[in-house]
Amino acid sequence: MARSQQLGKAQYETLAAFRYALRQFIRFSEEAAQAAGITPQQHQALLAIKGFPGRDRVTVGELAERLQLRHHSAVGLIDRLVAQKLVTRAPSATDGRQVLVGLTGRGETALERLSAAHRRQLKQIAPELSQLLKQLGCVNE
Amino acid sequence: MARSQQLGKAQYETLAAFRYALRQFIRFSEEAAQAAGITPQQHQALLAIKGFPGRDRVTVGELAERLQLRHHSAVGLIDRLVAQKLVTRAPSATDGRQVLVGLTGRGETALERLSAAHRRQLKQIAPELSQLLKQLGCVNE
DNA sequence: CTATTTATATCGTAACGCGATATAAGTCAA
DNA sequence: TTGACTTATATCGCGTTACGATATAAATAG
C-alpha cells in the first residue's frame, strides 16, 4: 500500500487533467473577453468589482487583493478601465485617502454578457471539475 | 422571478469568488514552483508530461495542446526544460517526425514534491470550489 | 513523387506585472 | 499640532512569456 505522500500515475493524471480543464476554462474566458472588446484582465477587474462581497464598489487596495496584484499594478489596470469608460473613480466619503471604483453603464453591459456566458460554460464543466476534485481527495488516504 | 439570463448580485459574487479562489490557487502554485527552483510554466509542463493519459512521454504537439500553447511556444519551453536537465528529447520509434519528451530523474523529483504539495492544497480548497460550482448551477434555473 | 505532418529556428512584437522609488494627501494617535 | 502611518498615484526600466510571421528540414502518406 502506497504512502499518502507517494503519488501514483493515476494521481498525476488527475492533477494534470484538473490543470488542463482550468486552462481550457481560462482560454474560453480570454476569448470571450476579447470578443467583447475588452482584455481578459479588464474582465477580471469588472467581475471583481461587481462581485465584491456585500458591495459593488471597491477601493484600489481591495481590488488589488482580489486580483492578487500589487497595488500599483491595480492602479494601472484601473487607469486603462477608466480610459475605456468601463469604470469610474470616486473619492470615498468616509476616508479621503481611499478611492472607490465602480462600473459605468458600459462596464455593466459588458460584464453582464460575459458573466452569462461564463455561467453557462461553468455549468457545463462543473461536473468534470467536481469529479476531479473528488478523485484527488479520496484515493490513497 | 428573474430570467435565467439575468444575473443577480449573488451570482456575480459567486462568479467572482470562484475566480478569486482560482487566482489564489494559481498563486500558491506559482510560489511553490519558484520555491522548488523552477518556473511555473516549467512545472505545468512537467505535470502535463508525467500526467498525460496512459503514457508518461508526449510529443511536442501533444504538450502544446495540453498546455494550450502554440507549437513553437512549446518548443521554446522544452528547450528551457532540456537546458535545466528536467526533461529529455528522444525521437519516436514509430514516427520519425515526432519527438518524445520525458522527465529526467531531476524532473521526476521536482514534480513529485510539487505534486504532493498541490494535492494537499487542492484537498483543502476542494470543498469551497465544489460549493461554488454547485451554487452556480442551481440558483435561478 | 508530391503533399502533408511534425519539429525546429529566428525575428521582432506586445502584454503584463514587477521592483524600486518618489510624491501627495488623508488619518490617527500621542 | 506634530509625526507616523496608510492609501493612492506616478514613473522608470526590467524580465518573462507567448505570439505572429516566416522559413527550413525531415519523415510520412497517398
SS3 of chain B? CCCCCCCCHHHHHHHHHHHHHHHHHHHHHHHHHHHCCCCHHHHHHHHHHHCCCCCCEEEHHHHHHHCCCCHHHHHHHHHHHHHCCCEEEEECCCCCCCEEEEECHHHHHHHHHHHHHHHHHHHHHHHHHHHHHHHHHHCCC
CATH number of A9-135: 1.10.10.10
Q: What is the mean pLDDT of residues A80-108?
A: 94
Residue B20 C-alpha from the chain's centroid:
17
Residues of chain A in contact with residue B103, where contact means CB-CB under 8 angstroms, are none
For all residues of chain B together, what is the average pLDDT? 92
Q: How far is B137 from chain A (nearest CA, A)?
A: 6
SS3 A51: coil
Note the pTM of the prediction, 2 decimals.
Answer: 0.92
Using C1' positions and the CA of A27, the closest nucleotide is: D18
Protein residue closest to D18, using CA and C1': B73
Look at residue A140 in the predicted model and tell me its pLDDT: 52
Give me the residue from B15, B16, B137 closest to A126, CB to CB: B137
B121 CB-to-strand C distance under 7 Å: no
B41 touches strand C (CB under 7 A): no
| pLDDT (0 to 100) of residue A19 | 97
B61's CB contacts (< 8 A; 6+ apart) are: B71, B74, B98
Chain centre distance of CA A126: 16
Looking at residue A10, what is its pLDDT?
95
Domain ranges in chain A are 9-135
How much is the average pLDDT of B60-75? Answer: 96
| pLDDT attached to residue A6 | 79
Cell of A85: 469608460
